[in-house]
Amino acid sequence: MLDRQSERAAIDGVLRSVRDGFSATLVLRGSTGVGKTALLGYAAGSASDMRVCSVAGIETEIGLGFAALHQLLVPVLAGVRELPGP
């Protein structure tokens, strides 16, 4: 991950915020081949003390609304009762 100091610093900042009890979001965007997947790998590796959820886009599910959201949430549905009320 040469020359990605600013991107890694942004990821580290988001993870630090989450560890401190805050919500945070970081959007990775760019053309094909610029290293988004490598940065996601760095983020997942840096978050070994956290639960990391991921989803993969599947072309055959393109017509199914919320297919990716379903894929993302199914593994954690058992913990929904542990969430605080509104």
* Domains of the chain, residue spans: 1-52, 53-86
Per-residue confidence (pLDDT) for residue 85, from 0 to 100 = 84
Answer yes or no: are the C-beta atoms of 44 and 52 closer than 8 Å.
yes
More confident residue, 2 or 11: 11
Is the confidence at residue 83, as pLDDT, over 90?
no
Distance CA 39, CA 58 (A): 21
Per-residue confidence (pLDDT) for residue 84, from 0 to 100 = 86
Region for residue 21 given its phi and psi (left: phi exceeds 0; alpha: psi -120 to 50; beta: otherwise): left
The pTM of the full predicted model, rounded to 2 decimals, is 0.75
More confident residue, 45 or 76: 45
Is the confidence at residue 38, as pLDDT, over 80?
yes
